[in-house]
Amino acid sequence: MAALVKAFAMQIPTLLDILAAQRRLRPYLARTPLHNYPALDALIGTAVYVKHENYQPIGAFKVRGGINLLAQMSAAERAAGVIAASTGNHGQSVAYAARLFGVTARIVVPEGANPGKVAAMQGMDAEVILHGARFDDARRHCEELAQAHGYRYIHSGNEPALIAGVATEALEMLEDEPGLEVIIVPIGGGSGAAGVCLAAKAINPSLRVIGAQSEASPAAYLSWQQHAMIEAPNRTVAEGLATGAAFELPQRILWQYLDEFLLLGDDEILRAMRWLVERAHTLAEAAGAAPLAAAYRLRDSLAGRKVGLICSGGNTSVAQLLRALQSD
C-alpha cells in the first residue's frame, strides 16, 4: 500500500523535465538514428521510420532513464547503493548508469533470464541475484531486499526521472522527422510508452501514439482498458513485454494520452523480428519488433501516414533469434 501511495503522489514529468533530461544525457549518450527502409515501406504500405534504440551502448532504450535518474541521486542514495528488478534491459540500464557514477548496483532477475543480459550486467560490475520463475517474483524479492538493507530501489516504471529520460527518444524522432503522424511503441511496464506520449503530445497533440503488447502478458493492456491496476498471466516469450502487473505511474500517463493499444500474438512478434532482419538488416529483440508487428496489423488504417516505429532493443538470445528466423 505504501508503494501505491508513493507512486500516485509522484508528479508526471513535463516537457521541461524531458528537455532537461536531454541536456543531462548529452555527455553520456550519442543520438540514435532514425532510418527509413523501402522494404518496410512496401510491407506496411506507407512511409515507415525505425528509431534504432538497439544501437544504445546496452542495446536498449532504457539506458536513457537510468542515466537521467542516477545523475540526480543524492550522495546518501549513492552511498547506500541501488537495487532493481528486471528481465534484463532495465537492469542493464541501472548497472550501466551505476558504473558511470561509481554506485554499487544489485539486480534481481528471474531464474530463466536471458543469459546474455545477465552476463552484460555482471560485466558492468552489478551483483546479479537470481530469484523466482517470473519477473514479478523477482520484483517482490527485490522490494524485500531494498526494505531490509536500505538500498535505493529503482522501480522499472514508477520513477518520474526514468520516464523523463526515456522520453528523449521521442524528442529525437520528431527533431529528425517532424512530419511523423503516428508513433508505435512496445509496452511492458509502460515507461517507454508513457515517455513517448508525454514528449509527442507536448510537441504535436494530433500525433497518434499506439502501444503494442503481447496477448500472452496483457496486464498493461487490461489496466489501460479498465483504468484500474490489473494483474494477468505473464507468459510471453518477449522479455521486454513480460510483466504480470501494471505499473501505476506509467498507467496514469497512458490513460490520459495513449490513443490506441494492440495485443499481438507472440507468433506475430517473432515474425516481425525476421522481417527486420530481412528487410532492414536490423537485429531486434522481440519487444523491439512488436511495433512492426502492430504496424502490419494496422497497415490499412496507416496508409498515407508517416509512421515511426521504436525498435526498443536488440538484446535477443540466439535461441529466440533462431526461433524467429524459422517463423512463418
More confident residue, 92 or 9: 92
- Residue 328, pLDDT score: 81
Q: What is the 3-state secondary structure (H, E, C) of the chain?
A: CHHHHHHHHCCCCCHHHHHHHHHHHCCCCCCCCEEECHHHHHHHCCCEEEEEHHHCCCCECCHHHHHHHHCCCCHHHHHHCEEEECCCHHHHHHHHHHHHHCCCEEEEECCCCCHHHHHHHHHCCCEEEECCCCHHHHHHHHHHHHHHHCCEECCCCCCHHHHHHHCHHHHHHHHHCCCCCEEEEECCCCHHHHHHHHHHHHHCCCCEEEEEEECCCCHHHHHHHHCCCCECCCCCCCHHHCCCECCHHHHHHHHHHCCEEEEECHHHHHHHHHHHHHHHCCCCCHHHHHHHHHHHHCHHHHCCCCEEEEECECCCCHHHHHHHHCCC
Categorize the per-residue pLDDT at 246 as very low, low, confident or very high, splitting at 50, 70 and 90. very high
- Report which of 196, 195, 263 is spatially closest to residue 224, judged by C-alpha positions: 263
Rounded to an integer, what distance in angstroms lies between the CA atom of residue 285 and that of residue 215? 17
- Residue 256, pLDDT score: 98
Evaluate whether the domain defined by 63-156 bears CATH number 3.40.50.1100.
yes
- Residue 74, pLDDT score: 95
Please state the rounded mean pLDDT for residues 20-44.
98
- Percent of the chain at pLDDT exceeding 90: 93
Evaluate whether the domain defined by 15-60+161-325 bears CATH number 3.40.50.1100.
yes
Q: Is it the case that residue 152 has pLDDT exceeding 80?
A: yes
Categorize the per-residue pLDDT at 3 as very low, low, confident or very high, splitting at 50, 70 and 90. very low
Lookup result for grid cell 529483440: 285
Q: What digits encode the pLDDT tens for the residues 82-121?
A: 999 998 899 999 999 999 999 999 999 999 898 989 999 9
Q: Is it the case that residue 270 has pLDDT exceeding 90?
A: yes
Q: Is it the case that residue 1 has pLDDT exceeding 80?
A: no
Categorize the per-residue pLDDT at 136 as very low, low, confident or very high, splitting at 50, 70 and 90. confident
- Residue 63, pLDDT score: 98
Categorize the per-residue pLDDT at 7 as very low, low, confident or very high, splitting at 50, 70 and 90. very low
Give me the sheet containing 208-214, strands edge to edge. Answer: 34-36, 48-52, 307-311, 182-186, 208-214, 260-264
Which residue intervals of the chain bear CATH 3.40.50.1100? Answer: 15-60+161-325, 63-156
Q: What digits encode the pLDDT tens for the residues 190-237?
A: 999 999 999 999 999 999 999 999 999 999 999 999 999 999 999 999
Rounded to an integer, what distance in angstroms lies between the CA atom of residue 109 and that of residue 87? 6
